[in-house]
């Protein structure tokens, strides 16, 4: 019988306590033990970003973190992005720009983009593409995702003029 | 994944004691981006995982002009490239730190872990080699040091005994008129394992032209990362030029012993070794001259 | 069933529809951006067990025996199943919604019978109290394999000396059954005119051979299925699928259950592209549930997705064309061989239908072959088999253009198909928009701007997909507040519940936001074929239109009752019901329904095959740069022009084009199943199966050309599949202009491009 260990950490601003096995990844802890299924498993080896969460302020692949590694740490998941029922500008812009089709990669992108905007409030298109290269999308071709992220940045940074995107590609 | 035990020692002494007892069945965990995947795939099967991120010596990260850079083995890449001083002094290291994986990987993965994983294609290793990094290792018999180029001994294998732990890396302060660059070739623009990688380091004389010191290192073209002394020999004492760099590139091509696999063919890797050595020598030169 | 005498499409232009052509927020959007939407893996049920599948490590092997005893003894393991737990299959043939298959093959792919036919072939299933225990149990099942030589190349498989996968597979050769077994399952032919005469007329004949590797659809969500075999014999399945009804049919057939015993609930789905039409886990989960009496949830990991589901065929295509000096093509001949994988039935005939479909050519001969090899049984991938076919035809046309001194778009205009042009398979086009896409491409700033710089090249290519009709059902109920609850049967992979709701709203004269769309399960909505074949906006939209008309008729009746006049005295226009001075909006009338007869609902089931589905055409332009020292290709600029008939929700139409083009770019440059000589896929992870990331692409410009399709009231044409057809050919043509060498093999990865530059 696998040995269950007590784990407590701050999840989306609230303290949680649970028992998990040492071999459980943070992703499994979130999905299978805590029932927060917003973070998704796409590859289970750090190559698609569908499992992204923010750990102590840094976006990470929760499939590559053991649950026990977040003892006493702070974790933010997609479930914690909207506040008091109000959508984050990223979520709103994803909807407006139709930046999702099947939606399975969307939680990962929103969490990663949130971390981007916290690190760089006015990213260029190139900044956004570089930051988000670890998040795979198979449906959209990324065009509308990047537009949504840049548009959200305009909102969260309080500026009115949105950043220019290369209409028609790189020079 | 098989069942494991999880330990998180808070001091180096604790960690050494733990490894003395369980080392043969243990694996050290820093960023986890390699180890957790290997555990899941059954490529490594330790009974106990030792999380060392709580040990202060493995998290040290400081620079001073006399002793250079102290880089704890568990310091994540993103901490390295977010430090403006390190960015200015060791751009060759930053090249690798910002190339490994993705943002998500960089927030966890460390140079120390990259070394200990022992992959011939490790992006972090060639810069450490050309920047003359020295590894500090702790074990039941005390501590030892050795240069980074001696650390990896075969694919997935290192000099570490099962009871030993890599504590930190020290990089000497960069001399004036020196520069280094790391470049790798991958089919996409991020996320891939290097098909070939190269790091070059140049130190110039006061004339800003003659090469006083040089180090060239290759990744992914042999069972271990290589320090290509023949390339360095071709460079030292001579004035920097395109033709000279081509000579060094040829030496690199000759030193490479690549294989054909799903990431590239043998001839392609050999060709790329030459291209990347030439390009990183140009990059190192520009940085040495301050003209980058 | 509604009749399909459709009114001609409305000739309304831009701005003349209230809802069609606008961009409302999708109804399921908030759930998807907050992580609340429930995909198959998110399902939680009381008493749930977890299942995993044991898979063959060998590409080809006889299975002598399977010993499950040690696995059963592992604490936490509740059941183990093999093919012996399925009823025997016999000789039945089943229709999956996009083609037919032998039941024995269908069962045999779910759990292997006598032979393992590919590495990854499912051999046994385990249910346990945790996924980790189930995975550990797999290691305790011992299978006695007798390895056999694998056959891994489509042409080698066709040779008489090749090892045979099935000793009971006899080639269906143009309708005649061969007398000895073979790996060639089927040979079909399309013929038009006389190619012999045609080639005699040609001023020059061009001939080329092409090879493409097997690729995967690459959806980010792995397969999942949960089954509960209840004590009353009813089986419920929750799954991420492109078609709940096809899952029901497949599972009922495999388990030889009456359809009435099986209910399938489609969960939200994280991508499909054709790969989530066949079942894989569902029947295994079902028999595990039957054995344990508990619901069983099964998930695949990414390696299993690559090795144990349905990638799309690799191919060998040989194409020959004869042209006049003017650039006019007078004859075309093609030989296409596609990998079926372990069992017969690849979508090879689709490649045959599409290969020169954009062109008006007098003499055509097309031979196509479906060939089994020791790889996973192939499935559809977005315009299946058309991309490999277009690689051949669209690069050969580029060569002809160069020889004839013609601009690549002009030569396509010269030869382009239009209304009335007959394809080699016999179909004559109704009103189509291919020439319009060429005109739009030629007028586009991308094409007009010269591309400067060394090692840079511009390429164009066109493509076609026929689009499907098939059957769909919609039910609509009017709520007292004037909203309409709508249930439709098409799993929503890309926003279609909204585009269907928009069509309903347009007819009823209400806002898109006033429709509450839901994807129903097999018990709650009428029969609906798969979400695939670019059919949903067309066919399910059509059903929504008909259901709305049904509602409208009933609403007219109610108004008539209210106003005490005959129903034919009530007029309705734009959602306003009138009789003389009496007038009520839809909302106002909805509030009064209980006063004049009671609640109103409407329903429709349509067979859209009867209304003339319009095919789709696209023309793509790509600019790229090649690094001559490394062979790396960087896409600089990409423009995709497509005839979309009528864009119901333009954002999602643009999204289909951008997504399909991106998949095509990945297919062109880096994606492939890399096999070793033992038939093991070496790169079965997202690390080494290299799909494009955001950093690998620029913005993708889309141009929506709208030539309304005659068969749909709003002129809708399917849009989802065409975009993946042109990219590899466009990129091949661009690489040629960048480095002066034509590549004929996919992927055109850096190693191959470098070899071409160095003349290796």
Instruction: Give the pLDDT confidence score for residue A2 in this predicted structure.
Output: 64
C39, C222, C699: residue with CB nearest A169: C699
Checking if the pLDDT of C412 tops 50, the result is: yes
Give the model confidence (pLDDT) of C353-384 as tens digits.
999 999 999 999 999 999 999 999 999 999 99
**Mutation site, A101, A125, A170, interface C, largest C CB count within 10 A:** A101
**Mutation site, C754, C758, C760, interface B, largest B CB count within 10 A:** C754
- Give the DSSP letter string of C699-735: -EEEEEE----TTSTT-----SSGGGSSHHHHHHHHH
Q: How far, in Å, CA of C575 to CA of C561, rounded?
A: 18
Q: How confident is the model at residue C4 (pLDDT cuts 50, 70, 90)?
A: very low
Instruction: Give the pLDDT confidence score for residue C12 in this predicted structure.
Output: 54
Indicate whether B151 and B86 sit together in one domain: yes
How many domains is chain A partitioned into structurally?
Answer: 2
Mean pLDDT of B204-214: 97
Query: Is A82 an interface residue toward C (CB < 8 Å)?
Result: yes
Q: What angle do CA A81, A84, A87 make, to 5 degrees?
A: 50
Indicate whether B63 and B167 sit together in one domain: yes
Q: How far, in Å, CA of A39 to CA of A42, rounded?
A: 10
Indicate whether B138 and B220 sit together in one domain: no
Of A1-10, A28-37, C591-600, C648-657, least confident by mean pLDDT is: A1-10
Mean pLDDT of C643-663: 98
Q: Which helix (H) or strand (E) covers residue C745, if one does? A: strand C745-746
Instruction: Give the pLDDT confidence score for residue C9 in this predicted structure.
Output: 47
Q: How confident is the model at residue C98 (pLDDT cuts 50, 70, 90)?
A: low
Q: Which residue would you say has higher pLDDT here, C348 or C94?
A: C348
Which ipTM did the prediction report?
A: 0.97
**Token pair belonging to A165:** 């995107």
Indicate whether B141 and B199 sit together in one domain: no
State the chains in contact with A (3 or more Cβ–Cβ pairs under 8 Å).
B, C
Find where tokens 């130190």 sit: B203
Instruction: Give the pLDDT confidence score for residue C379 in this predicted structure.
Output: 96
Domain range for B210 is 178-289
Instruction: Give the pLDDT confidence score for residue C105 in this predicted structure.
Output: 87
Indicate whether B32 and B76 sit together in one domain: no
Average pLDDT, chain B: 97
DSSP-derived secondary structure letter, C507: H
On whether residue A166 sits in a domain, the answer given is no
Average pLDDT, chain C: 95
Which residues of chain C form CATH 3.30.365.10?
29-37+469-610, 430-467+614-760
Indicate whether B259 and B222 sit together in one domain: yes
Q: Which CATH number does the domain C29-37+469-610 belong to among 2.40.160.40, 3.30.365.10, 3.40.605.10, 3.40.50.150?
A: 3.30.365.10
Checking if the pLDDT of A160 tops 80, the result is: no
Q: Which helix (H) or strand (E) covers residue C191, if one does? A: strand C184-192
Q: How far, in Å, CA of B107 to CA of C12, rounded?
A: 54
What proportion of chain A, given as a percentage, has pLDDT over 90? 89
Residues sharing a CB contact under 8 Å with residue C383, sequence separation 6 or more, in sequence order: C350, C354, C463, C465, C660, C721, C722, C724, C725
CA distance A139 to chain C (A): 5
On whether residue A84 sits in a domain, the answer given is no
How many domains is chain B partitioned into structurally?
Answer: 3
Checking if the pLDDT of B66 tops 80, the result is: yes
Query: Is B147 an interface residue toward C (CB < 8 Å)?
Result: no
Give the model confidence (pLDDT) of B216-256 as tens digits.
999 999 999 999 999 999 999 999 999 999 999 999 999 99
Q: How confident is the model at residue C79 (pLDDT cuts 50, 70, 90)?
A: very high
Residue of A nearest to C241 (CA): A102
On whether residue A22 sits in a domain, the answer given is yes
Q: What angle do CA A152, A153, A155 make, to 5 degrees?
A: 65
Domain range for A14 is 5-79
CATH number at residue B100: 3.30.465.10
What proportion of chain C, given as a percentage, has pLDDT over 90? 95
Q: How confident is the model at residue C100 (pLDDT cuts 50, 70, 90)?
A: confident
Cβ of C34 within 8 Å of Cβ of A36? The answer is no
Instruction: Give the pLDDT confidence score for residue A171 in this predicted structure.
Output: 40
Q: Please say whether the dihedral angle defined by the alpha carbons of residues A91, A94, A97 and A100, taken in this order, is positive or negative.
A: negative
CATH number at residue A57: 3.10.20.30
Residue of A nearest to C687 (CA): A47
Indicate whether A137 and A116 sit together in one domain: yes
- Give the DSSP letter string of C569-593: G-EEETTEEEETTEEEEHHHHHHTG
Which residues of chain C have a CB within 8 Å of the CB of B39? none
Q: How far, in Å, CA of A7 to CA of C362, rounded?
A: 73
Cβ of C683 within 8 Å of Cβ of B262? The answer is yes
Query: Is C629 an interface residue toward B (CB < 8 Å)?
Result: yes
On whether residue A69 sits in a domain, the answer given is yes
**Mutation site, A135, A168, A170, A171, interface C, largest C CB count within 10 A:** A168
Which residues of chain B have a CB within 8 Å of the CB of A134? 101-105, 190-191
Q: Identify the domain boundary among B15, B32, B51.
A: B51
Indicate whether A53 and A15 sit together in one domain: yes
Of C8-12, C166-170, C349-353, least confident by mean pLDDT is: C8-12
Instruction: Give the pLDDT confidence score for residue C670 in this predicted structure.
Output: 98
Cβ of C690 within 8 Å of Cβ of B187? The answer is yes
Start-to-end CA distance of chain B, whole Å, equals 47
On whether residue A21 sits in a domain, the answer given is yes
Which residues of chain B have a CB within 8 Å of the CB of C688? 192-193, 262-263
Number of residues in chain C: 760
Checking if the pLDDT of C570 tops 90, the result is: yes
**Phi, psi torsion values for C399, nearest 5 degrees:** -65, -45
Residue C754, classed as helix, strand or coil, is helix
State the chains in contact with C (3 or more Cβ–Cβ pairs under 8 Å).
A, B
Give the model confidence (pLDDT) of A71-89 as tens digits.
999 999 999 999 998 999 9
Mean pLDDT of B97-102: 96
Task: Count Cβ–Cβ pairs < 8 Å, chain A vs chain C.
Answer: 205
Cβ of C494 within 8 Å of Cβ of A79? The answer is no
Give the model confidence (pLDDT) of C455-482 as tens digits.
999 999 999 999 999 999 999 999 999 9
Instruction: Give the pLDDT confidence score for residue C104 in this predicted structure.
Output: 86
Q: Identify the domain boundary among B128, B145, B171.
A: B171
C132, C750, C760: residue with CB nearest B187: C750
Give the model confidence (pLDDT) of C251-308 as tens digits.
999 999 999 999 999 999 999 999 999 999 999 999 999 999 999 999 999 999 999 9
Using a 10 angstrom Cβ sphere, with 0-12 exposed, 13-18 middle and 19 or more buried, the burial of residue C682 is middle
Q: Identify the domain boundary among A79, A111, A136.
A: A79
Give the model confidence (pLDDT) of C53-67 as tens digits.
999 999 999 999 999
Q: Please say whether the dihedral angle defined by the alpha carbons of residues C27, C512, C277 and C251, taken in this order, is positive or negative.
A: positive
Which residues of chain B have a CB within 8 Å of the CB of A115? 103
Indicate whether A9 and A42 sit together in one domain: yes
Give the model confidence (pLDDT) of C226-253 as tens digits.
999 999 999 999 999 999 999 999 999 9
Fold for C40-149+217-308, please state it. Aldehyde Oxidoreductase; domain 3 (3.90.1170)
On whether residue A169 sits in a domain, the answer given is no
Instruction: Work out the number of other CB atoms within 10 angstroms of the CB of residue B291.
Output: 9
Using alpha carbons, select from B152, B154, B156, B187 the residue that is nearest to residue B268.
B187
DSSP-derived secondary structure letter, B149: G
Instruction: Give the pLDDT confidence score for residue C96 in this predicted structure.
Output: 61
Instruction: Give the pLDDT confidence score for residue C97 in this predicted structure.
Output: 56
On whether residue A125 sits in a domain, the answer given is yes
Instruction: Give yes or no for a contact between C475 and C547, defined as CB atoms under 8 angstroms apart.
Output: yes
Instruction: Give the pLDDT confidence score for residue A162 in this predicted structure.
Output: 57
**Mutation site, C627, C689, C751, interface B, largest B CB count within 10 A:** C751
Instruction: Give the pLDDT confidence score for residue C3 in this predicted structure.
Output: 36
Q: How far, in Å, CA of C174 to CA of C368, rounded?
A: 10
Instruction: Give the pLDDT confidence score for residue A161 in this predicted structure.
Output: 61
A79, A138, A144: residue with CB nearest C691: A138
Q: How far, in Å, CA of B244 to CA of B277, rounded?
A: 11
Indicate whether B192 and B164 sit together in one domain: no
Indicate whether B284 and B186 sit together in one domain: yes
Mean pLDDT of C738-750: 98
Instruction: Give the pLDDT confidence score for residue C16 in this predicted structure.
Output: 87
The string over C426-458, giving b where at least 16 C-beta atoms fall within 10 Å of a residue's C-beta and e elsewhere, is eeebebbbbbbbbbbbbebebbeeebeeebbbb
Mean pLDDT of A135-160: 95
Q: How confident is the model at residue B173 (pLDDT cuts 50, 70, 90)?
A: very high
CA distance A99 to chain B (A): 21
Mean pLDDT of B36-64: 97
Q: Which CATH number does the domain C430-467+614-760 belong to among 1.20.120.1200, 3.40.640.10, 3.30.365.10, 1.10.3470.10?
A: 3.30.365.10
Indicate whether A102 and A130 sit together in one domain: yes
Give the model confidence (pLDDT) of A93-106 as tens digits.
999 999 999 999 99
Find where tokens 């180090």 sit: B215
């Amino acid at each position: 019988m696998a040995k269950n260990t007590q784990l407590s950490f701050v999840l989306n601003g609230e303290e949680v306590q649970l028992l998990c096995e040492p071999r459980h990844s943070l992703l499994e802890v979130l999905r299978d033990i805590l029932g927060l299924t917003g973070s998704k498993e796409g590859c289970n080896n750090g190559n698609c970003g569908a499992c992204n969460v923010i750990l102590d302020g840094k976006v990470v692949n929760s499939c590559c973190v053991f649950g026990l590694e977040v003892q006493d740490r702070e974790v933010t998941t997609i479930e914690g992005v909207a506040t008091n029922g109000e959508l984050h500008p990223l979520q709103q812009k994803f909807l407006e720009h139709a930046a999702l089709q099947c939606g399975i990669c969307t939680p990962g992108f929103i969490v990663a983009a949130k971390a981007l905007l916290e690190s760089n409030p006015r990213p260029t298109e190139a900044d956004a593409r570089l930051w988000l290269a670890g998040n795979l999308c198979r449906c959209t071709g990324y065009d509308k995702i990047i537009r949504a992220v840049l548009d959200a940045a305009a909102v969260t940074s309080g500026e009115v003029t949105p950043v220019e995107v290369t209409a028609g590609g790189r020079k | 994944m098989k069942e494991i035990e999880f330990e998180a020692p808070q001091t180096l002494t604790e960690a050494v004691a733990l490894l003395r007892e369980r080392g043969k069945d243990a694996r050290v965990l820093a960023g986890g981006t390699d180890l957790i995947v290997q555990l899941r795939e059954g490529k490594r099967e330790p009974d106990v995982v030792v999380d060392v991120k709580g040990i202060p010596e493995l998290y040290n990260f400081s620079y001073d002009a006399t002793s250079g850079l102290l880089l704890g083995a568990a310091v994540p890449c993103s901490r390295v490239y977010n430090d403006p001083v390190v960015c200015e002094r060791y751009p060759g290291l930053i090249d690798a730190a910002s190339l490994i994986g993705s943002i998500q990987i960089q927030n966890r993965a460390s140079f120390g872990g990259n070394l200990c994983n022992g992959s011939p294609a490790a992006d972090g290793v060639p810069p450490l080699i050309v920047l003359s990094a020295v590894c500090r290792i702790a074990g039941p018999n005390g501590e030892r040091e050795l240069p980074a180029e001696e650390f990896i001994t075969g694919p997935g294998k290192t000099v570490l005994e099962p009871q030993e732990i890599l504590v930190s890396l020290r990089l000497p302060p960069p001399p004036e008129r020196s520069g280094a660059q790391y470049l790798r070739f991958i089919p996409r623009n991020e996320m891939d394992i290097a098909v070939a990688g190269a790091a070059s380091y140049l130190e110039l004389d006061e004339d800003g032209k003659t090469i006083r010191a040089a180090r060239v290192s290759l990744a992914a073209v042999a069972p271990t990362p290589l320090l290509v002394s023949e390339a360095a020999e071709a460079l030292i004492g001579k004035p920097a030029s395109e033709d000279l760099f081509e000579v060094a590139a040829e030496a690199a091509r000759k030193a490479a012993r690549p294989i054909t696999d799903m990431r590239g063919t043998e001839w392609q890797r050999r060709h790329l070794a030459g291209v990347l050595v030439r390009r990183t020598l140009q990059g190192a030169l520009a940085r040495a001259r301050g003209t980058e | 069933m509604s009749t399909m005498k459709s009114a001609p499409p409305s000739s309304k232009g831009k701005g003349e529809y209230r809802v069609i052509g606008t961009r409302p927020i999708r109804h399921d959007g908030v759930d998807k951006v907050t992580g609340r939407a429930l995909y198959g893996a998110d399902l939680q049920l009381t008493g749930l067990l977890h299942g995993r599948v044991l898979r063959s490590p060998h590409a080809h092997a006889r299975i002598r025996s399977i010993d499950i005893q040690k696995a059963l003894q592992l604490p936490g393991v509740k059941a183990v199943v093999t093919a012996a737990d399925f009823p025997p299959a016999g000789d039945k043939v089943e229709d999956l919604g996009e083609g037919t298959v032998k039941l024995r093959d269908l069962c045999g792919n779910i759990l292997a019978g006598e032979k393992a036919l590919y590495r990854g072939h499912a051999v046994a299933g385990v249910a346990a109290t945790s996924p980790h225990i189930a995975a550990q149990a797999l290691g305790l099942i011992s299978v006695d394999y007798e390895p056999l030589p694998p056959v891994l190349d489509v042409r080698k498989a066709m040779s008489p000396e090749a090892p045979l996968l099935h000793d009971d597979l006899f080639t269906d050769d143009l309708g005649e059954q061969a007398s000895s077994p073979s790996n060639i399952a089927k040979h079909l032919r399309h013929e038009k005119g006389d190619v012999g005469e045609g080639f005699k007329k040609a001023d020059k004949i061009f001939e080329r051979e092409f090879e493409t590797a097997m690729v995967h659809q690459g959806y980010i969500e792995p397969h999942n299925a949960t089954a509960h075999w209840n004590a009353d014999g009813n089986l419920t399945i929750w799954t991420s699928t492109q078609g709940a009804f096809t899952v029901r049919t497949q599972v009922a057939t495999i388990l030889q259950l009456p359809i009435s015993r099986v209910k399938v609930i489609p969960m939200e789905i994280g991508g499909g592209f054709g790969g989530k039409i066949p079942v894989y886990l569902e029947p295994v989960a079902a028999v595990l549930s039957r054995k344990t009496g508990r619901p069983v949830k099964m998930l695949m990991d990414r390696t299993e997705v690559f090795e144990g589901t349905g990638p799309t065929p690799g191919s060998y295509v040989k194409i020959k064309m004869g042209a006049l000096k003017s650039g006019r093509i007078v004859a075309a001949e093609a030989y296409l061989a596609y990998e079926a994988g372990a069992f017969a039935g690849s979508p090879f005939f689709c490649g045959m239908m599409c290969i020169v479909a954009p062109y008006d050519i007098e003499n055509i001969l097309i031979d196509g072959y479906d060939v089994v090899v020791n790889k996973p049984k192939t499935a559809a991938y977005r315009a299946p088999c058309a991309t490999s076919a277009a690689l051949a035809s669209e690069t050969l046309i580029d060569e002809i253009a160069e020889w004839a001194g013609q601009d690549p778009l002009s030569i396509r205009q010269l030869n382009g198909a239009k209304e009335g042009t007959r394809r080699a398979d016999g179909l004559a086009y109704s009103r189509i928009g291919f020439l319009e896409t060429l005109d739009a491409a030629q007028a586009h700033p991308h094409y007009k701007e010269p591309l400067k710089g060394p090692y840079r090249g511009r390429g164009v290519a066109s493509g076609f997909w026929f689009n499907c009709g098939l059957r769909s059902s919609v039910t609509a109920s009017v709520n007292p507040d004037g909203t309409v609850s709508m249930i439709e049967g098409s799993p929503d992979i890309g926003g279609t519940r909204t585009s269907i709701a928009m069509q309903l709203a347009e007819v009823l004269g209400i806002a898109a936001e006033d429709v509450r769309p839901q994807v129903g399960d097999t018990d709650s909505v009428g029969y609906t074929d798969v979400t695939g074949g670019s059919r949903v906006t067309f066919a399910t939209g059509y059903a929504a239109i008909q259901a709305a008309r049904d509602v409208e008729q009933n609403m007219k009746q109610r108004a008539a009752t209210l106003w005490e006049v005959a129903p034919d005295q009530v007029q309705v226009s734009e959602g306003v019901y009138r009789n003389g001075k009496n007038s009520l909006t839809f909302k106002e009338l909805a509030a009064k329904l209980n006063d004049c007869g009671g609640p109103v609902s409407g329903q429709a089931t349509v067979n859209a095959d009867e209304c003339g589905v319009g095919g789709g055409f696209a023309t793509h332009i790509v600019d790229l740069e090649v690094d001559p020292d490394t062979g790396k290709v960087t896409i600089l600029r990409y423009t995709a022009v497509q005839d979309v008939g009528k864009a119901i929700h333009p954002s999602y139409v643009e999204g289909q084009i951008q997504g399909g083009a991106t998949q095509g770019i990945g297919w062109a440059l880096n994606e492939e199943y890399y096999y070793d000589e033992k038939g093991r896929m070496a790169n079965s992870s997202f690390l080494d199966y290299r799909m494009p990331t955001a950093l690998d692409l620029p913005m993708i410009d889309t141009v929506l050309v709208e030539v309304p399709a005659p068969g749909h009231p709003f002129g809708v044409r399917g849009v989802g599949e065409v975009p993946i057809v042109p990219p590899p050919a466009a990129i091949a043509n661009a690489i040629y202009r960048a480095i002066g060498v034509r590549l004929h093999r996919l992927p055109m990865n850096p190693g191959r491009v470098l070899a071409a530059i160095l003349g290796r």
